[in-house]
Structure 1
Amino acid sequence: MSDSLFSRSVDRRAVLRTGMLGALGLAAAPALAACGGGPTSGGSGTGGSVSWAAWANPGEDERYKQFATELGKKINAKVNFQAVVGDYQAKMLSQLAGGAAPDAFYVGDADMAKMIDAKQISDLTEYLNGGNAPIKLDDFPEDLYQWCKPADGSAGIFGIPVDCNPSVLWFNKDVLSAAGVSQDPSQLFEAGTWTPDALEDLLGKVRASGKKGLILSNWWFNWCWATTMSGGQLIDESGKLVFADDPKAQEGLEWLLEQFRSGNVTYAGSLPKGQSGDALFLAGQLALNNVGRWALPTLKEVKFGYDIAPVPSSSGKDIVPVPVAAAAIALNTKAKNREKGLELIGNYVSRDGQKFRLSGGGNAVPSIKGLDEIATEGGVPVHGQWFNDVVANGYAIPRAFVGNSKTATELPLLVDKLFKDSSTTAASFSSAVTRLVESTK
């Protein structure tokens, strides 16, 4: 189809400008309230009907409606999209319990393990290996979907990442220049001198200028990179936490805690009510913001110069492994139209599907290989290729953190407590996190 939405890039800028302040947390925090209307339909094929659900801000809701229409043509079925309003997790669990959940739906990283254990979602292995799927598991970076496997290490894959967001440092060029920073992070990286010491020096200058350098939260995406930026390991090949016994990981963590103590880095949990890193960055009061590509749509209209840089490394020139946030789409075990549900999932995360959803200034990076041009389109930001490089070297949330609901719930609370305590050391932090994970297995 020459006019197919699957075969051309559609400009999402006009759609995404509206309500995009809310989207700053969309890919980052799946449980956040979503906006949008009720079920909408697309397609009028003869293969019956199929439904899927996701969290969505108003711009995404409209985009998904268009996508539902195109999916209907693609899989020869009537496609019903449900934008879940309010607490996504609670409402989806309620629908599952009542037998009213859609055939396919988004699953956040904190919910995957418990849905697998509760047999609420299906193993996709047979579909992926069957020869009819438009995708195969090898199309995706291996480290990006490990959290979609059973926590006990048994076989199976229960979700496919829909897209992803790598942990990078966005920076405000104007704030840095006003603070007397002569080389911005991208220039330092290209010069091979982007080290933790260089970042510390930059943050110190910003702090002296009266503005904030960097704000980090208790979300794993915002602190785990400290364990790996100096060459340390967070987990081993089996998925076991090892950062407590890794000298390089301890070095990176101690560096981060020292930045909290000095005031170079601000803990988000200590900010006055109503303040956030996203808002302060947009207001020109924050030099660096550790977020993913989801920030891009909101930055289209700002007056200041901006770009991205990878997290620093000991060498000053390497892109080190850092967190990559992802959500997955899964199949309801009790799907009313299992066959079309599988087709929907396969086409949704295929190259064509992701190109449609993410082209034109989208708020994520493709999770499938071979679409590097999405992150670099339009030359915005200037170093968009680094999104792809970070994804290629990055890691999704460790299964140890979300292996069961107790760990997933208690870990952020523990990290919050530890970050608020000025006496916390790398050793005490690592021991506390490891004890929690081990005790809740």
Structure 2
Amino acid sequence: MVATGCSNGGDAGGKTESASGGAGKGKKTEFLFWTPFSGADGPFMKEIVDKYNASQDSYKINFVIQPNGEYYKQLDVALSTGKERPDLMIMHLDQIPTYVSKGQLQEMDTLAGAAGINKTDYVEAAVNYATIEDKLYGIPLDIHPLVMYYNKDLLEAAGITSPPTNREEFDAAVEKVTNRDKGVYGYVVPTLWPQQFIFPTLVWQNGGELWNGTDVAYNSPEAVEMIQWLRGMVDKGVSPGNVQQDGENTLFLQGKNAIQFNGPWMKSQFDEAGLNYGVAPVPQIGKAKQAVFGGSHNFAIPKDVKDEGIIAGIGDFLKYVSSNSLEWAESGQALAAKPMIESAEFKALPQSAIADSFSYVQFAPNVLNWPTISEPIWGELNNALLGKKDAQKAMDDAAAKSKQAIGK
């Protein structure tokens, strides 16, 4: 999906056009902005860009949406060849350390200072993660932690007046809601995605880690216990077994799954379906602490962007977004800019409760090539949740594969 505009070729540096409207006194500096928002969220970002383009006569953003599944492959080609390279791009927070290590990102402190962007105006956890050797390489757009969606009608019919906040309440609620004769389940356990958000959340809540500072650690007793808890819901009949990809969401949309853990991006889908649903922070299931896994979309700039006019334009746009991004919140995301989080408009949105978890949100380990290192988790976790392997054996096998990937 390609939205407004197209690439201006080469490094996009310094391309201009006549100013629009009645000003006619200069040229607009254009720059190319890439995003991976090829789903339902794309139009929300397009609206922000369109409004920015119409708000001033100095800059024009050429906005391009690349297919999400191919985004980093295409970005790697563009950054290495310089052809059709973006001037500004969205980057997932956990990708930033790897791209910094490859020398492909430029620091953003200078741009932020010139544009009047203060790091203190953003959620600290994301800023800290994107700060490497005291230099900032990403400005966060949002924080998207795992959240709990619940079917208000199913909970109310079971006599449950508020969403669960801890393991005891959760276990009791899902058993009470379950009615296998009617095909209704309290919590349908996904065996694949979004376990990438669920499993780390549970491990951290139970006092475990994915990475202990020098090695993978997701075969710990704390991690295994949480897998056994998930599988236990299948054994008790609270969840069906052998749930296929997105099966838990299909049942939620059909009103046959009372609770699911997923990301803020699901909001528009549930709204369109007309579900009577609620949003709340994930309960504390583990025994140690409240924690939640989150991701974050960040603005980043390729190292080779040198044109001062383009850099000034990017700074102007990012300053604009810091106080004009409610459209992105309406896509279901929770914004990372504190002025937006604290605004009455954001607080009026159903997903504003998501921001309550920002004080304990955690991101993927800040380890180079973490997506590759951690990849074995998901196949082995699937084996454990399907009952094909003992939980400890599955995680031991995952850890062994990860160690092999990092040469240990």
What TM bracket, shorter-length normalisation? 0.7 to 0.9
Provide closer, same or farther for how the CA distance between residues 407 and 252 of structure 1 changes in structure 2, counting only shifts above 3 A. same
Deviation at 1:378, TM superposition (A): 7.8
**Residue of structure 1 aligned with 2:314, choices 344, 355, 359:** 344
**Structure-1 separation of matches of 2:138 and 2:205:** 29
Which residue matches 1:25?
A: none
The question of whether the paired residues in 1 share the 8 Å contact of 2:198 and 2:261 is answered with: yes
Distance in 2 of aligned mates of 1:123 and 1:432: 39
Out of 29, 32, 41, the residue aligned to residue 48 of structure 1 is 29
Deviation at 1:211, TM superposition (A): 2.0
CA distance in 2, matches of 1:314, 1:55: 32
What are the Cα deviations for residues 280-319 of structure 1, in whole angstroms up to 9, with x where unaligned? 3222122112123222223335444211232222699x99
| 1:160-196 superposed Cα distances (whole Å, 9 cap, x missing partner) | 2221222111101223345xx211443x4xxxxx321
Equivalent residues, number: 384
Change in CA separation of 1:78 and 1:177 when aligned onto 2, cut-off 3 Å: closer
1:234 aligns to 2:205 (yes or no): no
Give the match for residue 368 of structure 1: 337
- Alignment check: 8 A CA contact 1:47 1:77 kept: yes
Q: Report deviation, 1:241.
A: 5.7
Per the alignment, residue 135 of structure 1 pairs with: 117
Could you list the runs of 5+ residues in structure 1 that have no partner in the other structure? 1-33, 189-193
Instruction: Give the match's secondary structure for 1:370.
Output: helix
Distance in 1 between residues matched to 2:271 and 2:344, nearest whole Å:
15
Does 1:415 pair with 2:378?
A: no
Report the Cα distance in structure 1 between the residues aligned to 2:240 and 2:364, rounded to whole angstroms.
23
Residue 66 of structure 2: aligned partner: 84
2:405 and 2:344 map into 1 onto residues whose CA distance is: 38
Name the CA distance, whole Å, in 2 between partners of 1:227 and 1:364. 24
How do residues 21-420 of structure 1 correspond to structure 2 at under 5 angstroms? 36=3, 39=6, 46=27, 48-57=29-38, 60-72=41-53, 73=55, 76-85=58-67, 87-99=70-82, 100-109=84-93, 111-128=95-112, 131-149=113-131, 154-178=133-157, 181-186=158-163, 188=164, 194-209=165-180, 210-212=183-185, 213-216=187-190, 217-218=192-193, 219-230=195-206, 232-234=207-209, 251-265=225-239, 270-272=242-244, 275-313=246-284, 320-335=290-305, 337=307, 340-341=310-311, 343-344=313-314, 347-348=317-318, 352-358=322-328, 361-373=330-342, 377=346, 379-381=348-350, 384-400=351-367, 403-404=369-370, 406-407=372-373, 409-420=375-386
Which range moved further: 205-214 or 286-295? 205-214
Distance 1:85 1:242, change over 3 A: closer
Call closer, same or farther: CA 1:371–1:378 in 2, change over 3 Å.
Answer: closer
State the one-letter code of the partner of 1:92.
L
What code does the residue aligned with 2:248 have? G
Contact 1:311 1:319 in 2 (8 A): no
- In structure 1, distance between residues paired with 2:320 and 2:214: 27
Residue 279 of structure 2 aligns to a residue in which SS? strand
**CA–CA separation in structure 2 for the residues paired with 1:109 and 1:261:** 37
Contact residue 146 and residue 396 of structure 1 kept, 8 A = no
CA distance in 2, matches of 1:346, 1:295: 30
Q: CA deviation at 1:368?
A: 1.9
8 Å Cα contact 2:203/2:223 also seen in 1: yes
Unaligned runs of 5+ in 2: 9-16, 21-25
Q: TM-score, normalised on structure 2?
A: 0.77
Task: Say if 1:123 and 1:351 are closer, same or farther in 2 by CA, change over 3 A.
Answer: same
SS at match of 2:381: helix
Instruction: Tell me if structure 2 keeps the 8 A contact 1:325–1:396.
Output: yes
Higher gyration radius (CA):
2
Is the contact made by 1:365 and 1:374 (CA closer than 8 Å) also made in structure 2?
Answer: no
User: Which secondary structure does the structure 1 equivalent of 2:142 belong to?
Assistant: strand
The share of aligned pairs that are identical, in percent, is: 16
Given the superposition, is the C-alpha separation of residues 271 and 252 from structure 1 closer, same or farther in structure 2, using an over 3 Å criterion?
closer
CA RMSD of aligned residues (A): 3.8
TM-score (norm 1): 0.72
Structure 1 residues 206 and 356: alpha-carbon distance in aligned structure 2, compared to 1, 3 A threshold: closer
Tell me how far apart the structure 1 counterparts of residues 312 and 249 of structure 2 sit (CA, whole Å).
37
Letter of the 2:66 counterpart: V
